[in-house]
C-alpha cells in the first residue's frame, strides 16, 4: 500500500466525519463493476464530459485536487460521491517542528485488506 496512512485517532475523526457528511453525488461520473471482466479489473468509470466539467466548476474549493469516493448504497448500488473530508488539525509543514511532528506520526495499517476496494 502506498501513501501515508492515518493514525488511529485520525482514523476515528475521518470515519466520524465520513459517515455523517451530506452526500454530494458526482454529476457526469458513473462507476460500474463488470462481473465478466478479469479479476484485476475492479470496475469502469464512465464520464459525461460536459456534466463533469460543470460539476467540477460548481464545486471548486480553491485547491488543486478534488477527491471522489466510490461508495455502495444500502441497496447495493455503487455511486460516486464528493469527498469533502478535511483533517481537523494537521501539523504545519512550514516549520521545522511541524515537519518533525508530521514525520513522527505513527502509521497504522489495516489488519485485513480483503475489504479494501
Distances (CA, A) of 99 to 3, 11, 94, 103, 105: 17, 20, 7, 6, 10
Note whether residue 68 is domain-resident: yes
pLDDT at 86: 77
Residues 32 and 78 in one domain: yes
Provide the pLDDT for residue 115. Answer: 56
| pLDDT band with cut points at 50, 70 and 90 for residue 117 | low
What mean pLDDT do residues 26-44 have?
94
pLDDT at 5: 43
Q: What is the mean pLDDT of the chain?
A: 75
Same domain, residue pair 61 and 103:
no
Question: How much is the pLDDT for 84?
Answer: 84
Give residue 76's domain range: 22-84
- Cα-to-chain-centroid distance, residue 112: 19
Provide the pLDDT for residue 110: 58
Identify whether residues 64 and 15 lie together within a single domain: no
Phi, psi torsion values for 57, nearest 5 degrees: -65, -40
Same domain? 29 vs 76: yes
Residue 20 has pLDDT above 60, yes or no: no
Q: Does some domain include residue 117?
A: no
Residues 41 and 65 in one domain: yes
Residue 116 lies in a domain: no
Q: Within this chain, do residues 48 and 64 fall inside the same structural domain, yes or no?
A: yes
Q: pLDDT at position 61, please?
A: 86
Specify the number of domains making up the chain: 2
Assess if residue 4 is contained within a domain: yes
Amino acid at each position: 500500500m502506498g501513501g501515508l496512512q492515518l493514525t488511529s485517532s485520525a482514523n476515528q475523526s475521518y470515519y466520524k466525519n465520513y459517515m455523517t457528511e451530506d452526500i454530494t453525488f458526482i454529476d457526469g461520473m458513473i462507476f460500474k463493476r463488470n462481473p465478466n471482466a478479469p479479476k484485476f479489473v475492479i470496475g469502469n468509470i464512465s464520464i459525461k464530459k460536459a456534466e463533469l466539467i460543470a460539476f467540477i466548476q460548481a464545486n471548486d474549493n480553491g485547491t488543486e485536487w478534488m477527491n471522489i469516493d466510490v461508495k455502495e448504497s444500502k441497496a447495493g448500488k455503487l455511486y460516486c460521491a464528493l469527498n469533502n473530508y478535511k483533517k481537523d488539525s494537521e501539523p504545519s509543514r512550514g516549520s521545522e517542528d511541524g515537519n518533525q511532528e508530521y514525520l513522527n506520526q505513527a502509521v497504522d495499517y489495516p489488519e485485513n485488506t480483503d475489504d479494501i476496494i
